[in-house]
Structure 1
Amino acid sequence: MNELNTLERRGMAAICTSAGNMLIVAADQRNGMKAVMNAPGGPATISKDELAEAKGDLVRYLGNHAPAILLDPEVALPRLVDDGTLSRDTALVVGMDASGYVTVDGLRYTKFVEGVTPRTVRELGGDVAKMLFYMRPDRQDTNSRVAQEIRQLVRDCADEGLLLIVEILTYRLEDETPEEYERVFPSLVADAAAVSVECGAKVLKLPYPGSAEACAAVTEAAEGVPWAVLSAGVDHSTFIEQVATAVANGASGAMAGRSLWKDSLAMTSEERSELLTDRALPRLRELAAAIDGGRTV
C-alpha cells in the first residue's frame, strides 16, 4: 500500500464524509456540461461566461452540500473561489487534465490544462488535485509512457504537499470489436489499478468494472489504496446500485457528475436553482446514504 503522508491525510479527510468515505461532486466537465444544457441552437451557443454561471449554480445549490467538489481551472477557477461561491466547508479538488486526448500509435494520452501544475492547484485554492490518464494495461506496463507520466505527477504533487487522485479510463482499440472490449473490460480496470498503484498512486478514481466479483478484483489489485467509482454518465438509479455493489466489495466512495446533475442544468439560473435543489440534491443525499450505509451528508 502507498501510504499517505500527513498533508495527504488532511487532503483525504477533506474529501470524505464524516464516516470516512469519499464523496465528490464532479463538475470539471466543459464540453460535456455544455451538451446537457438546453441552449437554443445547441452547445456551440453557450459562452464561457454562461458556462461559468451554470457551474456557479451547480456549486451553490449542489456542490456546497457535499464534502468536496471537482472543478476545472479553465472556466470555474479561480472565479468561484474568489467570488465566494464555493463554501469554506466544501473541499476543492482541481482537475488538471485538458479536454480530449491525443492518439499516438493507437493509444490515447491526455494532457494538462496549459500552465497548470501542482503549485497552480495550490494557488487556485485547491485541497486536492485530480489527473485523468487513459490506459490499456494489456498494451502498457509499468515501463510505458503513461506509467512514467503517473510516476512523475505523483512525485511532483508529493513535493508540493498535495494529494493526487489518479483517474484511469480504459477504452476500445481501433481494431477491437465492442464485444471483445466488453469481455476484457473488467480485467482492464483491475490491471490498470495495479499499474497505477505500482507507479505510486495513493487514491484512484475508476470506472465501475461491471460486477461484485470485478469490484473485489479491483480492490485486491489496488493493494489497500482507496478507490472511488465514477458515474460515467449513467442514470442515477443505475449509479446507486453500482456504488452499493462497489462499496460492499471494497471501494471507498464515489465521484458523481452527470448522474446527479445532467438533467438539471437548464439555461436560466432560476430554472437551474429549482432543478438542482429539488432533483439533484436529493440524489446527492441518496448517494451519500449508499456510500455510508444509511448516513447522509
Structure 2
Amino acid sequence: MTELTTLERRALAKISTASGGMLIVAADQRNGMKAVMKDAPNGAEGISTEELADAKSDLLAFLGNKAPAILLDPQTALPRVVDDGTLDSDTGLVVAMDASGFAVENGLKRTRYVDGMTPRRVRDLGGDAAKMLWYLRADRRDDEAAVLDDIARLVSECEAEGVLLIVEILTYQLDGESDDDYKAVFPSLIEGAAALSVAAGAKVLKLQYPGSAEGAAAVTAAAAGVPWAVLSAGVDHETFVGQVRTSVENGAAGAMAGRSLWKDGLSISSATREELLTTKALPRLVELESVIDEVLSARP
C-alpha cells in the first residue's frame, strides 16, 4: 500500500464522516444530469450551461452541504459555487478532472481530461481532492499499459501538488462480448482493476459494486489496504443502500453516490428542485451515512 502524505490524510478526513467512512455526493455529471430534468421545455438538449450550473448550485445548497463532501466539475459548477459562497466551509470539495464521454482506441474505451485540468488547477479551484476516471479492462493488461502509466503519472503529480487523487475505474462490456460472458467476468474485472490501480500507485479508489459479499471481499483484498468507495452507477436508492452495506461490511471505506440520490430530485425549476432535494434526496443521504457509520462502528 502506498502511504498517504500528511496533506492527503487531511483531505481524506475532510471527505469522510465522523466515523471515518468516505461519503461524497457525486454531482460532476453533465449530460447525465441534464437527462433527468425531464420537465425542461426543450428537452435535455435545450438546457443551457448556465441552467445546468444553477441546478448544480441548488444540488449543493440543499444536499451536498449536508454530506462530508461533494464532487463537482470545473466546466459548469466551479469556481462559481466557491466564489459565491454556496459551498459551506466545512464541506469537502472533490474536483473532477475527466471530460464527458470517451474515445475508442483499438476497441478499448479511453477517457479524456477537461481542457487545462492539472493538479495545480484543482488547487486553484479550491479542491481538497481530485477525481479522475479511467476505463480499464483488467483482462487486457498488455493493452492497458498507457492507462496504468497515466494513473501513475497523475498520482505522482497530485502528490507533489498536495492534492489527494481519487482513482475511479469503470470496467465495461467489449464489442462482441455476450451479456453472459461479461456477467461471468465482471467481478474479476473489478478485482483486477483494483489490483492494477494500486500497483500503479493509487491511494484511494472509486469502483463499481462487484455483485456480492464475496466479490467485495475480493476487491478489498486486491486493494491491499487502499480505501475504496463504491459508486452508485444509477441504481435506485434502496438497491444502492444494500450494495453499500455489503461493500462496507466486506472492507470498503464508503460510498460516492450520485444518481441514486438525486436522479428524481432535479428539475428545470429552482423551487421544485429545492422541494425534491429536501424531501427526497436528503433523507436518502441521511440513511446512507447512517448505514456506513453503523457498519464501521461494528468493526473490531
Q: TM-score range with shorter-chain normalisation?
A: over 0.9
How much has 1:289 moved relative to structure 2?
0.8
Which structure has more helix as a fraction of its residues?
A: 2
Deviations 1:94-147 (A, max 9, x none): 000000111110011111100010000000000000000000010025971110
CA contact 2:216–2:252 (8 Å) conserved in 1: yes
Deviations 1:189-209 (A, max 9, x none): 000000000000000000000
CA contact 1:119–1:160 (8 Å) conserved in 2: yes
Superposition map of 1:157-236 within 5 A: 157-236=158-237
Structure 2 unaligned blocks of 5 or more: none
Cα distance in structure 2, aligned partners of 1:260 and 1:140: 34
> For residue 8 of structure 1, what is the aligned residue in structure 2?
8
> For residue 58 of structure 1, what is the aligned residue in structure 2?
59
Distance change >3 Å, CA 223–CA 294, structure 1 → 2: closer
AA of the residue aligned to 1:22: M
> For residue 151 of structure 1, what is the aligned residue in structure 2?
152
Superposition map of 1:14-163 within 5 A: 14-38=14-38, 39-141=40-142, 144-163=145-164
AA of the residue aligned to 1:163: L
AA of the residue aligned to 2:184: R
Structure 1 unaligned blocks of 5 or more: none
Comparing 252-261 with 35-44, which one deviates more in the overlay?
A: 35-44
Give the secondary-structure state (helix, strand or coil) at the position aligned to 1:244: helix
Identity %: 65
| RMSD of aligned alpha carbons | 1.3
Cα distance in structure 2, aligned partners of 1:58 and 1:13: 22
Cα distance in structure 1, aligned partners of 2:164 and 2:141: 25
AA of the residue aligned to 2:26: A
Cα distance in structure 2, aligned partners of 1:152 and 1:261: 33
CA contact 1:69–1:91 (8 Å) conserved in 2: yes
Give the secondary-structure state (helix, strand or coil) at the position aligned to 1:254: strand
CA contact 1:142–1:198 (8 Å) conserved in 2: no
CA contact 2:248–2:295 (8 Å) conserved in 1: no
CA contact 1:100–1:110 (8 Å) conserved in 2: yes
How much has 1:179 moved relative to structure 2?
1.1
Does 1:287 find its partner at 2:291?
no
- In the superposition, the TM-score normalised over structure 1's length comes to 0.98
Cα distance in structure 1, aligned partners of 2:72 and 2:160: 22
Cα distance in structure 2, aligned partners of 1:116 and 1:247: 32
Distance change >3 Å, CA 142–CA 224, structure 1 → 2: farther
How much has 1:41 moved relative to structure 2?
2.7
CA contact 1:228–1:254 (8 Å) conserved in 2: yes
How much has 1:178 moved relative to structure 2?
1.2
Paired residue total: 296
Cα distance in structure 2, aligned partners of 1:12 and 1:28: 19
How much has 1:294 moved relative to structure 2?
7.3
Distance change >3 Å, CA 129–CA 142, structure 1 → 2: farther
CA contact 2:167–2:204 (8 Å) conserved in 1: yes
CA contact 1:69–1:92 (8 Å) conserved in 2: yes
- In the superposition, the TM-score normalised over structure 2's length comes to 0.97
CA contact 1:206–1:227 (8 Å) conserved in 2: yes
AA of the residue aligned to 2:273: R
Cα distance in structure 2, aligned partners of 1:62 and 1:90: 11
CA contact 1:142–1:148 (8 Å) conserved in 2: no
Give the secondary-structure state (helix, strand or coil) at the position aligned to 1:167: strand
CA contact 1:54–1:265 (8 Å) conserved in 2: yes
AA of the residue aligned to 1:8: E
